[in-house]
Structure 1
């Protein structure tokens, strides 16, 4: 038999999950403080100090005082990110594809081939005229 009963194992798991949940809540509050543009620097410092010095009381007071705004700010940030993503996708889809090399790239390549002696002067002039005509 074990010296650690099932009820003690259950209580240990409960305390562990409560501890993890509290840390998640702590990080959520701290991130919300720093992401809130309506708070000034002193207010952010005050809330952070309050949450660090008296963590349980600080988090509970923050949730009571600013809890509703946390959700609204999260929704606004998500909407802004989605709008920026949609704008980027529309811009990328509407833009002309630039998969091929530019004229300057093609001319630089031709000049390198000509300087190396891989193509003759006549071939260089013909190829350059084709690139410039396109």
Structure 2
């Protein structure tokens, strides 16, 4: 019996399963490797030499380097990722607020005019609101910096 027997390849379905398993593990390995490399660069607590050392270790000895990194520094990887995600969300929210801006005086005056024409406010209320808008303290910019408080109407 000099013939070798390949157990997984005697059954085509088992061979396909075995191939898919190895492909999945290979993709999983690369995802883990790239996440660790991103974590090395993201960590503000590491010095430049520390980042360089970990990067050389992970790139040139990938299996050993990744396992040692996960054991030594893996506990804080999630916290660093959450901090990074929160900082990105805060920057995005700030960008949206800056881009959206506040309504112009013309927009607010046209809304007031529509409200007066519908009869929602009187001519006297329209005149007072118009003065507030033109003075820069309109409905969107209330005194005291509180922009979320209702106007009371």
Instruction: Give the TM-score taking structure 1 as reference length.
Output: 0.64
Residues 32-67 of structure 1 show CA distances to partners (whole Å, capped at 9, x for unaligned) of: 111211111111111011112221111011111111
What's 1:34 paired with? 41
Q: Which has the larger share of helix?
A: 1
Name stretches of at least 5 consecutive residues in structure 2 with no aligned partner. 1-8, 105-153
Give 1:53's aligned residue: 60
- The SS at the match of 1:39 is coil
Structure-2 separation of matches of 1:6 and 1:92: 56
Equivalent residue number for residue 95 of structure 1 = 102
Q: Distance in 1 between matches of 2:88 and 2:55?
A: 26
Q: CA deviation at 1:13?
A: 0.8
Pick closer, same or farther for the CA change 1:88–1:11 going to 2, 3 Å: same
- Larger relative CO (CA 8 A, sep 6+): 1 or 2? 1
Correspondence 1:67 to 2:74: yes
Alignment RMSD (CA, Å)? 1.9
Q: CA offsets per residue over residues 48-106 of structure 1, 9 Å max, x none?
A: 11112221111011111111211111101111111122222223334355xxxxxxxxx
For 1:59 and 1:69, the matched residues in 2 are separated by 15
5+ long unaligned stretches in structure 1: 98-134
